[in-house]
Amino acid sequence: MRRHHGTTPRTARVLGSLLLIAAAGGLTLGAAPAARAAAPVPLDRIVPAPVSVTPGGTPYRVTRATGIHVDGPAEVHRIGTYLAGLLRPATGYPLPVTDHGDGGILLRLTQGDYGAEGYRLHSGADGVTLTARTPAGLFHAVQTLRQLLPAAVERTTVQRGPWQIAAGTLQDRPRYAYRGAMLDVARHFFTVPQVKRYIDQLALYKINELHLHLSDDQGWRIAVDSWPRLASYGGAGEVGGGRGGHYTKADYREIVRYAASRYLEVVPEIDMPGHTNAALASYAKLNCDGVAPPRYTGTQVGFSSLCVSKKATYDFADDVIRELAALTPGRYVHLGGDEAHSTAHADYVRFMDRVQPLVARYGKTVIGWHQLTGAHPAKGALAQYWGVDGTGAAEKAQVAAAARNGTHLILSPADRVYLDMKYTARTGPGTKWAGLVEVHRSYDWNPGTYLAGVPASAVRGVEAPLWSETVKTSAGIEYLAFPRLAGAAELGWSPAARHDWSAYRKRLAAQGPRWDALGIHYYRSPQVPWPAR
Ligand code: TNX
């Protein structure tokens, strides 16, 4: 992780305690008496908001004597080691991880009504206990514990404590099973370390799906052995004319492994039949006229199409989906299917009728952008809705009808959670085709009632896509994602009853010092009462 540089240890320490004061009490910087610094972060001051908290008792204090005890299989031990790794640099404490012992921090798996990802956190004078039915639940509990500690805990050098955790009990579980973020690695390529950095940021907000947009007009980003020029030629470019790049299969496996270690499932997308110029440029035979177009470095959409009438197209689709499925332990393959403006509608339907069964043949479930609902979505397919308030009634009705017929939805309304929309006319990167999307607008909607005529049970969750036409660095990603990503994560996790902008903006403000400590480059929206830096 990249952290702040250029701060001496002493100023870092002072800054750390000032940030703690700010996070704990929202007090004016510099004016607080030292004793106030000791107030721990209240149990409900986290993002996403937890289901319920019952405060009370004496806070637990992490000290040099604290141990991390694990009760469960090796995977629980691994989560304990991950927690120790998070806490050691800033506390400077040894925090041994052991399979026995009392007091300190205990991670345990039990049977019980926690759900697949829920957990309970209990904190008192003698220790903190994290309980869940699954390792994923424990991992989410660790993210909560992290947010209950002062923001300075995120720093890589030793900081002054105290390291207290508010007393009481917190019960938590997600509203939706699918809580996603998408990264477009096609318009600009992002390296494995850059993707890992984003994964760590997603994990902090309990996001559990990482959708990678692996191909588009401007680049093909995943090695395919049976069609090697897709990556070697089709991957060697990007928007603006940079060198681009692609993931080898080993790179991709490393991303999948790292994501799994943070309890995220990777959803690979190969966009078809449009958004395919990089593939068409790599192989002449994929073009109806047999002529490969040049590579493309602009940002127009809707001009490319696979040749729906050619056998080569389906050989290509079969090979790509087979190799991608073999790299994918996750359940899904995303086929794209958006903005196929250069494919006649009948051809689009024909293409999807032939290609969706390939996904099932290789053991996966189809996801498509919601245009798929205009064809014949495969049984069990998910449609990802990316409309806006102004999307036409007929299109919305088509999506709702599909949802009633069993095509469940992932909600990514572009004028709410497209992270590439500019916040205001004056903020730097981003586009604005779906409008300007400030933090309040991004947060203030209800996935359960968002689309008329969609049964609540047909909503699988929320995903925040980040298209990368205008960003090519981690700082660029972060500026667009933070703070809106946190809001999308809360919409996916927290109960509708906890949805409250005026409370959210205060909880969100408390994340600012944490992002500063982590070196996350974020947008300091005037809608959020950030503590002064
Ligand atoms: C629409 S959303 C697209 C992308 C662009 C994005 C820019 C979708 C399924 N297609 O091709 O990158 O807008 O915001």
Cβ-proximal residues to 214 (8 Å cutoff; 6+ apart), any chain: 185, 186, 220, 221, 222, 247, 268, 269, 270
Q: Is the CB–ligand 1 distance for residue 205 below 6 Å?
A: no
Q: Is the CB–ligand 1 distance for residue 493 below 6 Å?
A: no
> 330 C-alpha to center of ligand 1: Å?
24
Find tokens 């469940």 and name the residue. Answer: 408
Q: Which of 184, 272, 301, 415 to mutate to test the pocket of ligand 1 (most atoms within 8 A of CB)?
A: 301
Q: Where are the alpha helices (DSSP H) in 132-206?
A: 135-148, 192-203
Q: Is the CB–ligand 1 distance for residue 415 below 6 Å?
A: no
Q: Is the CB–ligand 1 distance for residue 522 below 6 Å?
A: no
What are the tens digits of pLDDT across the range 305-356? Answer: 999 999 999 999 999 999 999 999 999 999 999 998 899 999 999 999 999 9
Which are the catalytic amino acids? 339
User: By alpha-carbon position, which residue is closest to atom 9 of ligand 1?
Assistant: 338
CA distances from 186 to 23, 165, 302, 366, 533 (A): 38, 42, 15, 20, 36
Q: How far apart are CA 362 and CA 270, in angstroms?
A: 15
In three-state secondary structure terms, 136 is helix
Domains and CATH numbers, the chain: 52-172 (3.30.379.10), 178-518 (3.20.20.80)
The CA-CA-CA angle for residues 171, 445, 391, to 5°, reads 145
- Position in ligand 1 atom list of the atom nearest CA 369: 9
Burial 459-494 (b: 16+ CB within 10 A, else e): bbbbbbbbbbbbbbebebbbbbbbbbbbbbbbbbbb
What are the tens digits of pLDDT across the range 508-519? Answer: 999 999 999 999
> 386 C-alpha to center of ligand 1: Å?
9
Token representation of residue 216: 């588009």
Q: Which runs of E-coded beta strand occur in 370-468?
A: 382-385, 408-411, 459-466
What are the tens digits of pLDDT across the range 225-239? Answer: 999 999 999 999 999
Residue 137: closest CA among 160, 162, 111: 111
Q: Is the CB–ligand 1 distance for residue 467 below 6 Å?
A: yes
- Position in ligand 1 atom list of the atom nearest CA 420: 14
User: By alpha-carbon position, which residue is closest to atom 2 of ligand 1?
Assistant: 386
pTM: 0.93
Amino acid at 328: T
Residue 104: closest CA among 71, 128, 139: 128
pLDDT at residue number 20: 38
DSSP string, 491-504: HHHS-GGG--HHHH
Find tokens 């399979």 and name the residue. Answer: 99
Q: Is the CB–ligand 1 distance for residue 296 below 6 Å?
A: no
- Position in ligand 1 atom list of the atom nearest CA 338: 9
Q: Which residues of the chain have pLDDT under 70?
A: 1-38
Q: Is the CB–ligand 1 distance for residue 385 below 6 Å?
A: no
pLDDT at residue number 31: 37
pLDDT at residue number 8: 36
CA distances from 515 to 40, 153, 268 (A): 18, 11, 28
Q: How far is CA 48 from the centre of its chain?
A: 13
**Phi–psi pair at 10, nearest 5 degrees:** -70, -45
Q: How far apart are CA 431 and CA 471, in angstroms?
A: 10
Residue 404: closest CA among 393, 416, 412, 396: 396
Token representation of residue 274: 């449009």
Token representation of residue 419: 């992270």
> 467 C-alpha to center of ligand 1: Å?
7
- Position in ligand 1 atom list of the atom nearest CA 184: 12
Q: How far apart are CA 69 and CA 82, in angstroms?
A: 13
User: By alpha-carbon position, which residue is closest to atom 5 of ligand 1?
Assistant: 467
Q: Which of 185, 272, 338, 420 to mutate to test the pocket of ligand 1 (most atoms within 8 A of CB)?
A: 338
CA distances from 532 to 26, 35, 307 (A): 10, 20, 56
Q: Is the CB–ligand 1 distance for residue 388 below 6 Å?
A: no
214, 252 in Cβ contact below 8 A?
Answer: no
Q: How many CB atoms lie within 10 A of CB 312?
A: 15
> 521 C-alpha to center of ligand 1: Å?
24
Which residues face 180 on adjacent strands? 209, 463
352, 369 in Cβ contact below 8 A?
Answer: no
Q: Is the CB–ligand 1 distance for residue 339 below 6 Å?
A: yes
Token representation of residue 310: 């050619």
